[in-house]
Amino acid sequence: MKGLFCLCAFLVVLPLFLILFDLVMKGAKELRWTLLVDLPRPVGEPGGGIANGILGTVAITLLTMTWSVPVAVMSGIYLAEYGRGKLASAVRFAVDTLTGVPSIIMGIFAYILIVLPMKRFSAWAGAAALSMIFIPVVVRTTEEMLRTVPTTVREAALALGIARWKATLRITVRTAWPGILTGILLAMSRIVGETAPLLFTALGNQFWQSRLDQPMAAVPLQVFTYAISPYEDWHDKAWAGALVLITMVLLINIAARVLTRQKR
Amino acid sequence: MARKTGGNIKDLLFERTTGGFAFLVLFLAVLLFAVLLRESVPALRKFGASFLVTGTWDPVLEKFGALPFLYGTVVSSTLALLIAVPLSVGAAIFINEFAPPWLKAPVSLLAELLAAIPSVIYGLWGIFVLVPILRDGFMKPVTKTLGWIPFFKGPVYGPSMLAAGVLLAIMIIPFILSVSREVLATVPQRQKEAVLSLGGTRWEMIRIVIGQHCLPGIFGAAILGLGRALGETMAVTMVIGNRPEIFVSLFQQGYSMAAVIANEFAEAGGLQLSSLILIGLLLMLVTLVVNLAAKRILSKMVARASRGI
C-alpha cells in the first residue's frame, strides 16, 4: 500500500522534472545572445530574436503594476483596517469572484472597454486585462498580511497619540510590508506568464514598439505563435522563448520566497 | 485640541480614500458582468436557449451554437479530475503519513513551482512532448486492441480530448495536492491513534480516517481543481485539436469554450463576436458557481476541524 502512495507522489512530481528538462535541453539550442537583442526574423532566415517581446513584457507588466499596486494595496488596507460594513463584505465577495474568473475573460473585458472604442489593439488594453488578474490577488494578500499584525501594535501606536492614518501607514503597513511585497511579486510572476488575456488586447507585434497605444509584442505571445506555427526553426524559437519566460517567472517567484524567509 | 481635530479630518480622509479604492474594485467586478452581459445580448436574442444545444458553429451562415465547446470543456475537465484527484490524494497521503519529514518541504516546493509555470509553457510541452508520447505510447496501441470500444475509436491524430485531459490534470494537480494535504492535516491526532490502538493497521487507519473525516474536504479540493480546469485556455487550445464537432472517442479532436474564444476572438465581429462573448459569460458563470461551491465546502470543513470533531 505504501508503495502505491509513493508511486502517486512520484507521478505527481515527475512532470515538473520532464518539463524543466525539456525546456533546458530544447531551449538551450537556440539560446544565444542574438535571441535577447534582435528582432524576430521571417521564417527561413537564420538568427533573429525575441527582444521586442522581452521589452514588451517588461513594459506591459510595469504599466499594469503602476496603477494596480496602489489600487490593490489601498483596498487591502481598507478591508483590513476599516472593513466591517456592507461595502467591505461586498468588496470581499467581488475579490473572491474576480480571483476565480478565467484569465481569458479579462481579455474580453479589456477588448470591449478599450480595444473597441480605440479601434486598435494596444499595450494599454493588455495592461488593463492583466490588472483585472493582478488586483484581486494583491487585495487579498494585503488584507491577510495586515491581519497578521497584532492589535497590540496598533493600540500601542494610537496610545502614543499618533493619528490613526499615520499609525496605519507608518506602523501597521510597514510591519506587514515584506508580506505584502511577497504577494505583489507572486502576482507579478503570474501576470508575466499570462498569455490568454493578451491575445486580443496587446495582440503582439513583429517590430519594436515604444508607443503604448499600439499593438505590442510579449514573450508569452511569441511562444504561442511560434509553437503553433508549422515551421521547424520557429519551434526552436518557441522553446528558447519559453526558457526565457520561465527564467523570468521563476526569478520573480524565488525573489518573493526569499523575501518571506527573511521576514521570519 | 485643534491638532486633534485636524488628525480626525485626515483620518476620515484616509478612510474615505482607501474606501474609494475598495469601491473601485467592487465597481470593476460589477462592470465586468455588466459589459459581458450587454455585449452578449445580440447572440442571446438571436439564439436564446437553443445556443446551448446547437452543434453548428458556422461564421459564414452566421449560425452559432455552443454545444461542441460545452462538451469539450466538460469532458476534458472531467477527464483531468479523474486523473488528478486519485494521484493528488495518494501523493498527499504519502507526504503527510509516510514520507520522512525532510522530504516534505522539497515536495511542497516542487508542487508550488509546478503551479507557477505559465500555461503557454504547458501547452508548448504538450504539443511537442506529451502528445507524441500519448499518441505512440498509448493511443495507437490501445486503439489497435480496444478500438471497438467507442471511447477508444481511431483514427489517432495526436491532438485530442485525452491529451487535453492529461495536460489539464498535470496543471491542476498542485492545487488539489496542497488542499488535500491541508485537509488531511485537519484530522485530529487522537483519532488516528484511536484506530491504531484498536489494533488497526496503518492502511486501515488511513481508510477509516479519510472515509470518516476527509471525504468532504477532498471533494472540495476536487471542485477547486475543476474551477481551474474549466477556465484554462492556452494549454487546452494547443493540444485539444480545435475541431468544433462532438466525438465520443477520447482519441478524437475536440474544442473547448476558452479555446474557441482564444482562437476566433481577434478576428470576429458582429454576431460571431457576440456569440463568443456569450460563451465567455457562460464560462465565467460556471467557474463562479464551481468556485463558490468549493469555497463553501472547504470552509465548512475548516470550521468543523477547528471545533475538533
Stretch (H or E) spanning B194: helix B189-197
Is the pLDDT reported for residue A194 higher than 70? Answer: yes
Nearest Cα residue to B277 out of A237, A158, A111, A141 = A111
Number of structural domains chain B divides into: 1
**How many CB atoms sit inside 10 A of residue A235's CB?**
19
Is the pLDDT reported for residue B69 higher than 70? Answer: yes
For B287, the closest of A26, A101, A106 (CB atoms) is A101
Q: What is the mean pLDDT of chain B?
A: 91
Length of chain B: 309
Mean pLDDT of the region B83-96: 93
Q: Which residue is closest to A136 within chain B, CA to CA?
A: B25
Nearest Cα residue to B119 out of B222, B220, B229 = B229
- Greatest CA separation for chain A: 72
Q: How many CA atoms lie within 13 A of B241 on its CB side?
A: 27
C-alpha cell, A231: 515551421
The band of A142, judged by pLDDT with boundaries at 50, 70 and 90, is: very high
Enclosing domain of residue B286: 50-306
The band of B1, judged by pLDDT with boundaries at 50, 70 and 90, is: very low
Is the pLDDT reported for residue A262 higher than 80? Answer: no
Nearest Cα residue to A227 out of A239, A215, A243, A210 = A239
Mean pLDDT of the region A12-35: 89
| Encoded amino acid at A19, one letter | I
C-alpha cell, B106: 522539497
pLDDT (0 to 100) of residue A210:
87
Coil vs helix vs strand at B57:
strand
Check A98 against B28: CB less than 8 A apart: yes
Q: Which residue is closest to A198 within chain B, CA to CA?
A: B262
Q: Is residue B180 part of a domain?
A: yes
Mean pLDDT of the region A218-223: 96
Q: Is residue B75 part of a domain?
A: yes
Model confidence pLDDT, tens digit, residues B196-220: 888 888 888 888 877 778 888 899 9
Is the pLDDT reported for residue A114 higher than 60? Answer: yes
Asked if omega into B216 is within 30° of 0 (cis), the reply is: no
Give whole-number Cα distances, A82 to A143, B14, B28, in Å: 11, 10, 20
Statement: A49-263 belongs to CATH 1.10.3720.10? yes
Coil vs helix vs strand at A4:
helix
Is the pLDDT reported for residue B6 higher than 60? Answer: no
Check B25 against A136: CB less than 8 A apart: yes
Q: Is residue B279 part of a domain?
A: yes
B99 forms beta bridges with none
Where does residue A37 rank: exposed (0-12), middle (13-18), buried (19+ CB within 10 A)? exposed
pLDDT (0 to 100) of residue B2:
39
Question: Residue B60's domain is classified under what CATH number?
Answer: 1.10.3720.10
pLDDT (0 to 100) of residue B308:
58
For residues A4 and A109, which has the higher predicted lDDT (pLDDT)? A109
The residues, ordered by sequence, that sit 6+ positions from A235 with a Cβ below 8 Å of its Cβ are A226, A227, A229, B128
The band of B7, judged by pLDDT with boundaries at 50, 70 and 90, is: low
Q: Which residue is closest to B264 within chain A, CA to CA?
A: A200
High-pLDDT (> 70) share of chain A, %: 99
Mean pLDDT of the region B2-31: 85
pLDDT (0 to 100) of residue B113:
85
Q: What is the DSSP letter of B160?
A: S
For B18, the closest of A75, A98, A235 (CB atoms) is A75
For residues B110 and B24, which has the higher predicted lDDT (pLDDT)? B24
Q: Is residue B105 part of a domain?
A: yes
Yes or no: say if A144 and A74 are a contact pair by the CB < 8 Å rule.
no
Is the pLDDT reported for residue A232 higher than 70? Answer: yes
The residues, ordered by sequence, that sit 6+ positions from B253 with a Cβ below 8 Å of its Cβ are B157, B159, B160, B161, B240, B241, B242, B243, B245, B247
Model confidence pLDDT, tens digit, residues B261-292: 999 999 999 999 999 999 999 999 999 999 99
Nearest Cα residue to B249 out of B181, B162, B180, B190 = B162
How far, in Å, CA of B279 to CA of B135, rounded? 30
| Encoded amino acid at A147, one letter | R
pLDDT (0 to 100) of residue B187:
83
The residues, ordered by sequence, that sit 6+ positions from B20 with a Cβ below 8 Å of its Cβ are none
pLDDT (0 to 100) of residue B254:
96
Check A12 against B7: CB less than 8 A apart: no
Is the pLDDT reported for residue A19 higher than 70? Answer: yes
**Interface-testing mutation among B181, B234, B242, B282, with chain A (most A C-beta atoms within 10 A):** B234
Q: Annotate A75-110 with b (16+ C-beta within 10 A) or e (fewer).
A: bbbbbbbbbeeebbebbbebbbbbebbbbbbbbbbb
For B25, the closest of A95, A108, A113 (CB atoms) is A95
Check B113 against A253: CB less than 8 A apart: yes
**Interface-testing mutation among B3, B21, B24, B88, with chain A (most A C-beta atoms within 10 A):** B21
Check A18 against B125: CB less than 8 A apart: yes
The band of B3, judged by pLDDT with boundaries at 50, 70 and 90, is: very low
Poorest-pLDDT segment among A19-33, B61-75, B187-201: B187-201
Q: What is the mean pLDDT of chain A?
A: 93
For B120, the closest of A26, A70, A220 (CB atoms) is A220
The residues, ordered by sequence, that sit 6+ positions from A236 with a Cβ below 8 Å of its Cβ are A26, A29, A30
Q: Tell me which chain B residues have a C-beta less than 8 angstroms from the C-beta of A100.
A: 227, 287-288, 290-292
For residues B101 and B236, which has the higher predicted lDDT (pLDDT)? B236
The band of A63, judged by pLDDT with boundaries at 50, 70 and 90, is: very high
Check B265 against A200: CB less than 8 A apart: yes
**Interface-testing mutation among A4, A101, A122, with chain B (most B C-beta atoms within 10 A):** A101
**Interface-testing mutation among A1, A8, A131, A232, with chain B (most B C-beta atoms within 10 A):** A8
